[in-house]
Amino acid sequence: MKIAIFTDTYKPYVSGVTTHIGILKEGLEKKGHQVMITTVDPKVDEYIFEDNVLYCPGRAVKKIYGYGITNPLSFHRLDIIRDFDPDVIHIQTEFAIGMFGLWASRRLKKPVVYTLHTMYDDYTDYVFPHYADKLGKSIAHRYFHVIASRADEIIVPSKKAVTFLENCRVERDVNFIPNVAGISECHKEKAEEVKERLGLSSCEAVLCFAGRMGREKSVDVLLLYFSKLAEKHPSVKLILVGGGPEEDNLRRYAEELGIADNVYFTGMIAHEDVVPYFYASDLYVTASTSEMNSISMLEGMSSGLMTLQRLDESNRYQIVSGTNGWTYETEDEFCALAEQYISKSPEERAGLKEKLRTYMKTYGLEEFLDKTISVYEKVRTEKA
């Protein structure tokens, strides 16, 4: 089959969606399918087509690193898609490029699959002022209702996405296909470089979070809870992997809390440089409740990191207590669970990591690809 994927952001920019699409593209190609990706790149001034990726010029979205907006209607772009002649169009965004994908599908009479990646109720404050939050959510829900209703099939990575679609009054069946993580063993060697550079060998434990430094990720809550842990365990470190609009504010907040020496900010880095930080750490921690099915968290688990996840009822099933991590609701629970892990011997930690790596193989790439391909085949048959 030929699959045309449409996304607002792609390599070299780093995000969970970018990682997800990269895994999907590589997996489909290994199975003999042809994949073409259409995306926006604010850094290009003209259309660039390389490695089956069409980079379209656009304007940067200042509040969201790596994202751009472009004209949702383009006959030149349409001609390029027509030449590729896809069997299926797969939109993985709801905005300009996604709208173009829907428009192209109608012009070319191609079936459309739509994947919802983001819990947008946590992002409306990027567009609407705080006092208009309720209005913003109402407008957003109506917009996503229209997008979802125009797709032939919908894929969601978590049960939380089903609830969001119900709130948008989208009443139809969806395909539940959890995200997967692709981790290479070669990252272990680079992890030693990270440990040496940051002086982590003498730490009691190293905690790690990876994600965009934005308000919706609640990194400020994570810093507050970590500060209480650091009072009892001064040699514990926290690595925050990623950049974003709140990074400078979070750095200042760490200083206010008196933990600046315990927290290391990597800033925005390439995806291949992220995983070594997981291998250099002992525990993955997150206070975010805005996730659908966090790729970063899955990558951390696949690297052997047990996870402390702030309880999100809609995603409760993602953590199996004692198997891949634990959930917490309060600062005291966070500290107690972290201390419980810190108290374990190096041998006990190594045992947990190995068991977790084995467990994470149940998040199989083959199953993910097979389920996605079955959706493609379904819409292709129905359209024919």
pLDDT of residue 133: 61
pLDDT of residue 280: 94
Q: How confident is the prediction along the chain (384 residues), in pLDDT tens digits per residue?
A: 999 999 988 988 888 889 899 999 999 999 999 999 999 988 888 999 999 999 999 887 755 555 668 888 999 999 999 999 999 999 999 889 999 999 999 999 999 999 998 876 666 555 555 655 677 677 778 888 889 999 999 999 988 888 888 888 998 889 999 998 876 655 667 888 899 999 898 889 999 999 999 998 999 999 999 999 999 999 999 999 999 999 999 999 999 999 999 999 999 998 889 999 999 999 999 999 988 889 999 999 999 999 999 999 888 889 999 999 999 999 999 999 999 999 999 899 999 999 998 888 776 788 999 999 999 999 999 877
pLDDT of residue 89: 98
pLDDT of residue 231: 96
Kindly list the distances between the CA atom of residue 10 and the CA atoms of 13, 56, 106, 174, 194, in Å, as whole numbers in the listed order.
6, 11, 24, 25, 26
List, in sequence order, every beta strand (DSSP E) within the chain: 2-7, 34-40, 48-50, 53-56, 59-60, 68-69, 88-91, 112-115, 153-156, 175-176, 206-210, 237-241, 263-267, 283-286, 306-310, 325-328
Q: What are phi and psi of 239, to 5 degrees?
A: -105, 125
Instruction: Report the 10 Å Cβ neighbour count for 55.
Output: 21
Same fold yes or no, 2-180+364-383 and 187-362: yes
Locate the domains of the chain by residue range: 2-180+364-383, 187-362
Q: Which fold has domain 2-180+364-383?
A: Rossmann fold (3.40.50)
CATH of domain 187-362: 3.40.50.2000
- The answer to whether 236 and 203 have CB atoms below 8 angstroms apart is yes
pLDDT of residue 126: 57
Q: pTM of the full predicted structure?
A: 0.85
